[in-house]
Structure 1
Amino acid sequence: MRRPVALRLQAALGTLALAAATGVVLAMPEAAAAAGGATGYATQNGGTTGGAGGQTVRATTGTAIHQALCGRADSATPITIEVEGTINHGNTSKVSGDSCSTAADKIELKQISNVTIVGVGSGAVFDQLGIHIRESSNIIIQNVTVRNVKKSGSPTSNGGDAIGMESGVRNVWVDHTTLEASGGESAGFDGLFDMKDNTQYVTLSYSVLRNSGRGGLIGSSESDRSNGYVTFHHNKYENIDSRTPLLRGGTSHIYNNHYASLNESGINSRAGAKAKVDSNYFEDSKDVLGTFYTDQAGYWQVAGNIFDNVTWSEPGDDTNPAGPDPRSNTTVSIPYSYALDDASCVPAVVAATAGANKGLKVSDGSCAPQNPDPTPTDPDPTDPTEPSPDPTDPTDPPSGTNLSLGAGADGSSKASGTSYGNVRDGDPATHWSPAGTTGSVSVKWPSPTTVSKVRVREAAGSEGAIRSYRLVDHGTGRVLATGSGAGVAGFPAVSLTKLTLEITGASGTPKVAEFETYAG
């Protein structure tokens, strides 16, 4: 159950007029922390919690993201920024303030801490606009797409890196993202995921990196060995020329990733780097592991990997491939717990979990994708000392009139043969389904209507498909309740004109027969 947190509205958002101008909307008085919890090395050094415990705001422009950062009480005030829509150069400008240092040509997370940026609703796409993290700590980036960021040509952003970190960065978790380019350096692109100049305790998980000359690096040169403690797990690297990743110094843990069509080289451990390479699946690729393009050796510990149609170069002065029979040449001790999927099922698990807008599914080592805990950072719900924000018992059946009957309806998408209006027609034989496994449907009224309870009914034969959801006041972006499984949910009475059911996790395609709303 969530603890209420006092709002600092003026410090966070300025005036309502400024909020409207920038696209920032107050969503709720506490952070809707990123689904699941940080994994890998991001759990070390005190952990990575992002904006947990702070405000949540909604942003639909890059300027709004910067405004949310600059409107905080100070540079360490926790904040979660929920992003929806396309963020690009046309809607991103520099914003000034005591708690931020922003720029117009990128999303700038500089000299700040305790921030979560998470894609919501119909998705968040950073188009030709990179995300730059500098001199910052405790950052979460989740469920977003970053694409076609260029260092040459027009427009340019972030030195051509989709996500780049540098200069004393600590504790970053990047999760369920899609990072992609449309070519290599000659086409104006650089790395998809770069870390340099003393960046440590980072995890990249459940992400897709594709169609780029360079996947990413740790260390900008052979002498930049101040980086490390980085985990890469359950990611898909596809159609990448090299750097999946390039490691210069430091320690990395690379497990349960799926590598396909690595055209020149893959994991390039050099300049004293050590990598523990566990239960990955490599296919249709060349030189997927070794030390390449240098005579300064790196090291690896290998176990449980599958090499499917992988070719290997002959060793040379600056080429030291680990294969064709990869053997360990070092040992790496991992300080955190983790569950390994068998390499044979990694392609299927990664296909079902990795990337933005995939429902934030994860793996528990059973080779079967799991839905996330929708409120993972909430206090223990079995703790009797925890206060509940709900004035009513959500397990009680609702009473009175179903306010959805005769209301309007819309949503994010609909599967063929279904209709938004089916959720408020009173007929359990009709239903709405999203185009995929996640999506949203809303009921709306022409004038403010008081609601404090809902009941979600699944169509016959689909019971149990909905695993996690959120109820959102569409007008303010405030999250009224979260839960798992269909049924009844209660929350403090609120007057609104549109209530949205966001399905964030499902086993298969959900079928919502009725989205009922009640005053009490």
Structure 2
Amino acid sequence: MNMVRNRVCGAVALVLIGAAAARPAMALASTEADWRKTAPADGWASAEGGTSGGAAATAERVFRVKDIAGLRQALAGKDGAARIVVVEGTIDGTGGIPFASAEDQATRVQIRVPSNTTLVGLDKASGLVNANLVLKGVQNVIVRNLSIETPWDAYPVWDPKDGPTGHWNSEYDGVTIDDSRHVWVDHVLITDGRHTDDQNGTANGQEVQHHDGALDIKKASDYITVSWSVFRLHDKNNLIGHSDKESADAGHLRTTFHHNLFENVTQRAPRVRYGQVHLYNNVHIGSKTHAVYRYQYSHGLGVESSLISEANLFEIDGTKSVCDVVKSFGGTRYEDRGSLINGLPMDTQAACKDYGAGLQPAGWKPPYPYAPDKTEGLMAAVKAGAGPQ
């Protein structure tokens, strides 16, 4: 595969990778300064030394990619040297060749991102389809300015022992963060896109499941910030901590979500086990009567979880109180400051049958500097500023 060095944007040198590498470089919508940004101080990704991704990459380690072969080549290698990978246009994980079997999909759908990497979209038209970004056992990764369509699992598995009557299960998230630390996800869009759940069909008396998570954080991952991103048209959105039995997650899974838009997301925004999770200035829009993505809840409290919610907006048709947007799965440590549910203050002391003895203080404070915006004007600001730019 050819590699051609080109001088663009002043000082930055790009290594063009892929079938179209010899094509003259076009003007870039984003700049080298954008690609070299590090995680700001307003979330968990800034803790314990911070998250810089590929900010220190040399000119020879800045790659521009246009297809799946080029993307895999740019991400190959485990030498630990910083790299920046710039995605131009929409990259199809199939490379134009449909998945032929479950084994073929498992081999080709996952895209591994190594440590000390920044993966960034060139502009708002840049992104991935038929691909699952996987951060597994890595550190110091930044993913920014990408549109990601959640993979459609063409070969879901029927488990007759799942639940009282059996259940379909699928694999592959939009982004999977597994046993990884210091990650910043920023200005990303994750959505079911062309393959919404009304296309699922039924078998064995159950709706067939073709999607897993949008962005899941598991296996003792830690120091993560998800900011200014859009989650749209998805069911099981953000799972933090994959199992009640995974006690090794205790003391980890520290995550911040701020200034994100959750639009017509059914549940898990997020659903948390074990982690200390800070949620501020997020906007949730949905309806309990949506034709496809009927709203169930936003914040899920699992075993040993502890959540702090601040100045979030919930504009959800059919909801009235904290009982509608916060659901307990065995956890009760949750506190809120200044959030609104359809324009009314969230009352965490409301009587909810789901909480037993009631919600308890979170028991911790965010260790980083941040200043939540007021809820007035937040809806417009997040709608305009979240997602790829």
Do the two structures share a fold, i.e. TM-score over 0.5?
yes
Partner of 1:87: 91
Structure 1 residue aligned with 2:72, among 66, 75, 80?
66
1:305 aligns with 2:309: no
Q: Residue 197 of structure 2 aligns with which residue? A: 183
| C-alpha distance after superposition, 1:24-78 (max 9, x if no partner) | 99999x96553654131111121111111212110011221110122x5x53111
| Higher RCO structure, 1 or 2 (CA under 8 Å, sep 6+) | 2
Report what 1:246 is aligned to: 271
Secondary structure of the corresponding residue to residue 343 of structure 1: coil
- Contact 2:54 2:116 (C-alpha < 8 Å) held by counterparts: yes
What amino acid is aligned across from residue 160 of structure 1 in structure 2?
Y
Structure 2 counterpart of 1:240, which letter? V
Q: In structure 2, give the amino acid aligned to 1:270.
A: G
Moved more, 49-58 or 327-336: 327-336
Report the alpha carbon displacement of residue 103 of structure 1 after superposing the two structures with TM: 5.0
CA distance in 2, matches of 1:91, 1:264: 36
Tell me if the contact between 2:94 and 2:130 (Cα under 8 Å) persists in the aligned partners: no
What's 1:34 paired with? Answer: 35
Change (3 A) 1:235 1:69: same
2:307 match: 275
User: In the TM superposition, what whole-angstrom CA distance separates every residue of 1:318-367 from its partner, at most 9, and x where no partner exists?
Assistant: x2399xxx97533321111112111222211101110112xxxxxxxxxx
C-alpha distance after superposition, 1:173-226 (max 9, x if no partner): 000010011238845112111011111111100000011111111011112351
Structure 1 segments of 4+ aligned residues over 6 angstroms from their partners: 24-28, 309-314
Counterpart Cα distance in 2 of 1:314 and 1:139 = 42
**Deviation sequence 1:231-276 (CA, Å, 0-9, x none):** 0000000111110000001201100000111611110122011111
Unaligned runs of 5+ in 1: 94-101, 358-520
Counterpart CA distance in 1 for 2:83 and 2:227 is: 22
What residue is the counterpart of 2:144 in the other structure?
142
Q: Between Structure 1 and Structure 2, which shows a larger proportion of strand residues?
A: 1
Structure 2 residue identity aligned to 1:164: T
1:220 aligns with 2:242: yes
1-side partners of 2:216 and 2:55: how far apart? Answer: 25
1:52 aligns with 2:55: yes
Instruction: For 2:73, give the aligned amino acid.
Output: Q
TM-score by length of structure 1 reads 0.56
Residue 462 of structure 1 corresponds to none
Query: Match of 1:149, SS?
Result: coil
Residue-by-residue CA offset, 1:127-154 (whole Å, 9 max, x unaligned)? 1312111011111110000113123459
Contact kept, 8 Å, 1:149 with 1:161, in 2: the verdict is yes
Once residues 64 and 79 of structure 2 are traced to their aligned partners in structure 1, the CA distance between those partners, rounded to angstroms, is 19
Residue 209 of structure 1 aligns to a residue in which SS? Answer: strand
- Between 327-336 and 47-56, report the one with greater CA deviation: 327-336
Distance in 1 of aligned mates of 2:120 and 2:359: 39
> Per the alignment, do residues 183 and 23 of structure 1 end up closer, same or farther by CA in structure 2, a change over 3 Å counting?
farther
The separation in 2 between residues aligned to 1:20 and 1:66, in whole angstroms, is 10
C-alpha displacement of 1:309: 6.8
Partners of 2:18 and 2:69 within 8 A in 1: no
Letter in 1 for 2:365: S
What is the root-mean-square deviation in Å for CA atoms of aligned residues? 3.4
Query: Could you say which residue in structure 1 is the equivalent of 2:364?
Result: 332
Mapped contact 1:194–1:216 kept (Cα < 8 A): yes
Q: Deviations over 1:473-496 (max 9, x none)?
A: xxxxxxxxxxxxxxxxxxxxxxxx
Q: Does 1:151 align with 2:153?
A: yes
Rg comparison, structure with higher value:
1
Q: Give the equivalent residue in structure 1 for 2:285.
A: 260
DSSP-derived class of the 1:259 partner? strand
SS across alignment from 2:364:
coil
Offset, 1:121:
4.0
1:475-486 matched pairs, under 5 angstroms: none
CA distance in 2, matches of 1:59, 1:37: 21
Residues 163 and 48 of structure 1, relative CA distance in 2, 3 Å threshold: same
For residues 107 and 93 of structure 2, the distance between their equivalents in structure 1, rounded to whole angstroms, comes to 11
1:197 corresponds in structure 2 to: 219
TM-superposed CA distance for 1:91, in Å, is 2.2
Which position in structure 1 is the counterpart of 2:292?
none
- Retained in 1: the 8 A contact 2:19–2:67? no
Amino acid at match of 2:186: D
Counterpart selection for 1:126 from 128, 132, 141: 128
The separation in 2 between residues aligned to 1:140 and 1:75, in whole angstroms, is: 17
8 Å Cα contact 2:218-2:253 kept in structure 1:
no
Give the direction of change, closer, same or farther, for the CA distance of 1:122–1:38 in structure 2 (3 Å limit).
closer
Find the counterpart in structure 1 of residue 101 from structure 2. none
Q: Is the 8 A contact 1:113 1:137 kept in 2?
A: yes
Aligned match of 1:361 = none
Q: 1:237 aligns with which of 262, 284, 287?
A: 262
2:104 pairs with 1:104: no
Distance 1:92 1:59 in 2: 16
| Distance in 2 separating the partners of 1:50 and 1:26 | 28
Q: How does 1:443-462 map to 2 (within 5 A)?
A: none
Aligned letter for 1:282?
A: F
- One of 355, 359, 374 as aligned partner of 1:320: 355
CA distance in 1, matches of 2:137, 2:275: 19
Task: Check conservation: 1:236, 1:350, Cα contact below 8 A.
Answer: yes
Partner Cα separation in structure 2 for residue 121 and residue 233 of structure 1:
22
Task: Letter of the 1:300 partner, please give it.
Answer: Y
Q: 1:197 to 1:26 in 2, by over 3 A?
A: farther
TM-score by structure 2 length? 0.73
Partner residue of 1:161?
Answer: 173
